[in-house]
Each structure stands twice: as structure tokens, then as C-alpha cells.
Amino acid sequence: MTSDSTPASTDVTAFDLIGGEQKVRDLVDRFYDLMDLEPEFAPLRAMHPTTLDGSRDKLFWFLCGWLGGPNHFVDRFGHPMLRARHLPYEIGIAERDQWVRCMALAMQDQNVPEPLQMRLMDGFLKTADWMRNVPR
């Protein structure tokens, strides 16, 4: 209990560990900046709209909730239904790996603590692999 008689929370989320909304926004912005600028991510970039503003917002909203913070995406759109939302795009091993590599670089560039990077990469890889919808 805290001094004001409310229970003290011991549940520290990945959202808390990463540093809250601004840090999630910074991570998402770096992710899309890398995708937009680095030639190795050109095929992944080509799968996105000409302007990335909507993609940036949607990933930010989604990650806030996925990391244990506010459910901005769910509040706006309902259940994420990630696989269904990505079915129009051919996602194979190469696309999965590009997405994961881009996110790994973004986390490094944003100085996400290494233990948290490892924890998040496990979840990112599992989620990205689940998005695959072509066998290649």
C-alpha cells in the first residue's frame, strides 16, 4: 500500500520500460524513417502507401497497447485482427525478415535497453512470422 491507502502496482509493462508514449512514437518514427531511407528495406517500403503518416499512427497506436500501455488502436478500430488486415499484401520470409530487421535497428537507434530489445524481438518475430501468407 502507498501512503494514500491505494495498492502499489508491481506490474511494470514493456510500455513502462520503454519510456511511455513519446518513446514509442520515437521508435515508430525511426522504424519508418529507416524503411523510407535504407535501400535494404525498399521492398518492404513498396508495400506501404506513398505517404507513411497513416502507417506511423496505426503502428504507434497498436504498439502502445501491445506493449501494455493505452489501447489507442482498439479504441479507434476495435480488435487489431492483424493477420486479416495484412492479407492483401504478400508477406513471405523476406518481408518478415525485413520488418524484423528494420524494427531491430530502430530499437538500437532509440537506445532501447538490450534486455528489453531481446524480449520485444521475440514477440515481434513471432507476430511477423504469423503474418506470413505466402510460402516463400
Q: Minimum mean pLDDT among 3-17, 29-43, 57-71: which range? A: 3-17
pLDDT of 136 = 84
Report the half-sphere exposure of 125 (CA within 13 A, side-chain side). Answer: 9
Contacts by 17-21 with C-beta closer than 8 Å and gap 24+? 17/113, 17/116, 18/67, 18/112, 18/116, 20/69, 21/64, 21/69, 21/70
Please give the model's pTM, rounded to 2 decimal places. 0.89
For the four alpha carbons of 62, 64, 67 and 73, in that order, the dihedral sign comes to negative
DSSP code, position 9: P
**CA-closest candidate to residue 43, choices 124, 99, 84, 109:** 99
Asked if residue 3 has pLDDT above 90, the reply is no
Asked if residue 8 has pLDDT above 60, the reply is no
pLDDT of 102 = 98
* Contact present, 24 and 32 (Cβ < 8 Å): no
Q: What is the mean pLDDT of residues 52-75?
A: 97
pLDDT of 62 = 97
Confidence band, pLDDT 50/70/90 cuts, at residue 135? confident
Asked if residue 6 has pLDDT above 80, the reply is no
The mean predicted confidence, pLDDT, of the chain is 92
Report phi then psi at 117, rounded to 5: -55, -45
pLDDT of 2 = 45
Q: What is the mean pLDDT of residues 99-128?
A: 97
* Contact present, 44 and 99 (Cβ < 8 Å): yes
Q: What is the mean pLDDT of residues 108-135?
A: 96
